[in-house]
Amino acid sequence: MPLTMVKAGEENYIRKISGKAETRRFLESLGFVVGSVVTLITQNGGNVIVSIKESRIAVSREMADKIMV
């Protein structure tokens, strides 16, 4: 399921990152790598704030829909 459907505070493993190669490279540069643990902190309007590799990162809802957990 996409990252946007996860409950806040829940830890999940990234299973797949879809989208164009450019989008996948961008997400990988932020730390979104298959097998990594990601925790949804909150969803604000169009943004999703997550915790990954001891960092908090905000990504757009469109980007979060491409991250499958």
The Cβ-side half-sphere exposure at 57, using a 13 Å CA radius, reads 19
- List, for residues 27-55, the tens digit of each pLDDT value: 999 999 999 999 999 998 889 999 998 89
What superfamily would CATH give domain 3-68? Ferrous iron transport protein A (FeoA) (2.30.30.90)
Give the separation between CA 12 and CA 38, rounded to whole angstroms: 5
Q: Are 50 and 3 in contact (CB under 8 A)?
A: yes
Lowest pLDDT segment from 5-9, 15-19, 28-32, 43-47 = 43-47
Q: List CB contacts of 48: < 8 A, sequence separation 6 or more.
A: 3, 4, 40, 42, 58, 59, 60, 61, 63, 64
Give the pLDDT of residue 45.
82
Boundaries of every domain in the chain: 3-68
Give the pLDDT of residue 25.
93
Residue with tokens 């809802």: 61
Give the pLDDT of residue 46.
83
